[in-house]
Every structure is written in C-alpha cells, then in structure tokens.
Amino acid sequence: MSAAAERMKAMRERRKANHLREVRIVALDARSPEVRRRIAEQVAALNKDDEREVLEWIEAAADLRGWTWPE
C-alpha cells in the first residue's frame, strides 16, 4: 500500500473512532453559463404571488426564539 493510501486509511480510522462519517455532495456548478441560464429561466417562471405566500408562511411558522441578528 502506498504512503498516501496508508495516510488515508489512518485518517478514516481516526474519523470512525470519533464517530464521524464522510459525506460527499455533488452540486451544480453555478459558474457554468449553462447552469446560470437554466437557473435564470426557472426564476423567471416563478409566480411572485405564490412565492410571497410561501415566504410569509415560512416566516409565520418559524420559531425564532433565542435567535440573535447582527445589527
């Protein structure tokens, strides 16, 4: 086994001992012109009244007790 593989194995064992698990996330690349175009199209297609209603509901349902906000 190579030195790099040994280091990775040791790191995984340390994480496992600390009850940690590696999670990988694959996301769209927002730097891509094609992705930005698709996002812009989807945003343009949103119904502003529906979106406002949903945001108002989220704000009303959120329990913000104990939260602090920067001035």
Residue 67 lies in a domain: no
Residue 68 lies in a domain: no
Residue 69 lies in a domain: no
Residue 64: predicted pLDDT:
84
Residue 71 lies in a domain: no
Q: How many domains does the chain have?
A: 1
Distance CA 43, CA 58 (A): 19
Residue 48: predicted pLDDT:
95
Residue 21 lies in a domain: yes
The domain in which residue 24 lies consists of: 3-60
Q: List the one residue out of 3, 8, 34, 43 whose CA is nearest residue 22.
A: 8
Residue 42 lies in a domain: yes
Residue 69: predicted pLDDT:
82
pLDDT average per 10 residues of sequence, the chain (71 residues): 94 94 93 97 96 94 86 74
Residue 2: predicted pLDDT:
94
Residue 68: predicted pLDDT:
85
pTM above 0.85, yes or no: no
